[in-house]
């Protein structure tokens, strides 16, 4: 399958988040099909880090589209986002859940969970299973031979409201593959 290039992320975050469902993330021997994402917009989205974290605004200004934005959430879980910068706006796409496809034994060791549908069914679970940590923040992972994204064919993509946040919770910027047992939580808007 064709690799996704940084140019994929030179448009708005909502389109990128929707179009990543069905793609494959590969990371140092582990692979998973993306089944859930969320979009965050720099302008007009109070849930986006750029609206309340000066460091996030500085990151956006100094990095190019397609760069990994990795942060520690509540001091517990690393979350993996991708920087989006296009003429229609900038922001981030959070990878929320994957269907594991390769390197499953390594993921099981890292997570201590045997059932594959629970290995990557949330953004913190995903990063732990793949071994993604803060050292990946700012990485040009799309240009590395052992990390990146490949295009894929999604099933039915559903839009839902974002979860795990307290601001702008009404925006339907969470995208998931309908019927996937690997998503973090079912769709509420169907």
What pLDDT, on a 0 to 100 scale, did the predictor assign at position 190? 52
For residue 53, is it within any domain?
yes
The length of the chain in residues reads 190
Element (H, E) at 178: none
Give the model's confidence band at 51: pLDDT under 50 very low, under 70 low, under 90 confident, else very high: confident
For residue 77, is it within any domain?
yes
For residue 78, is it within any domain?
yes
The tens digit of pLDDT for each residue in 129-178 reads 999 999 999 999 999 999 999 999 888 999 999 998 989 989 999 999 99
Q: What six digits make up the tokens of 118?
A: 């629970």
Q: What sign does the dihedral 43-46-79-99 (CA atoms) show?
A: negative
For residue 79, is it within any domain?
yes
For residue 90, is it within any domain?
yes
- 47, 101 Cβ separation under 8 angstroms: no
The tens digit of pLDDT for each residue in 92-124 reads 999 999 999 999 999 999 999 999 999 999 999
What integer is the mean pLDDT of 74-101?
95
For residue 81, is it within any domain?
yes
> How far apart are the C-alpha atoms of 93 and 110, rounded to whole Å?
24
Which of 46-50, 80-84, 96-100 is predicted with the least confidence, judged by mean pLDDT? 46-50
| CATH number of the domain to which 24 belongs | 3.10.300.10
For residue 109, is it within any domain?
yes
Count: domains in the chain: 1
Residue 10 belongs to what domain range?
Answer: 6-177
- Statement: residue 34 has pLDDT above 80: yes
Q: Which residue has the higher pLDDT, 88 or 81?
A: 81
For residue 186, is it within any domain?
no
Q: Between vectors from CA 94 to CA 178 and to CA 119, what angle results, nearest 5°? A: 65
- Statement: residue 53 has pLDDT above 90: no
């Amino acid at each position: 399958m064709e690799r996704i290039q940084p140019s994929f992320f030179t448009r708005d975050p909502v389109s990128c988040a929707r179009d990543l469902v069905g793609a494959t993330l590969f990371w140092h021997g582990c692979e998973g099909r993306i089944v859930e994402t969320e979009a965050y917009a720099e302008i007009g989205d109070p849930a986006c880090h750029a609206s309340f974290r000066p460091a996030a605004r500085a990151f956006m200004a100094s990095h190019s589209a397609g760069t990994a934005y990795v942060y520690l959430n509540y001091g517990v879980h690393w979350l993996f986002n991708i920087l989006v910068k296009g003429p229609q706006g900038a922001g981030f796409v959070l990878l929320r859940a994957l269907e594991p496809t390769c390197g499953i034994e390594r993921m099981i060791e890292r997570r201590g969970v045997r059932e594959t549908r629970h290995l990557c069914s949330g953004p913190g679970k995903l990063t732990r299973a793949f071994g993604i940590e803060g050292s990946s923040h700012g990485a040009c992972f799309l240009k590395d031979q052992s990390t990146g994204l490949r295009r894929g064919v999604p099933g039915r993509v559903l839009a839902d409201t974002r979860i795990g946040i307290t601001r702008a919770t009404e925006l339907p910027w969470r995208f998931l593959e309908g019927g996937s047992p690997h998503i973090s939580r079912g769709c509420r808007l169907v």
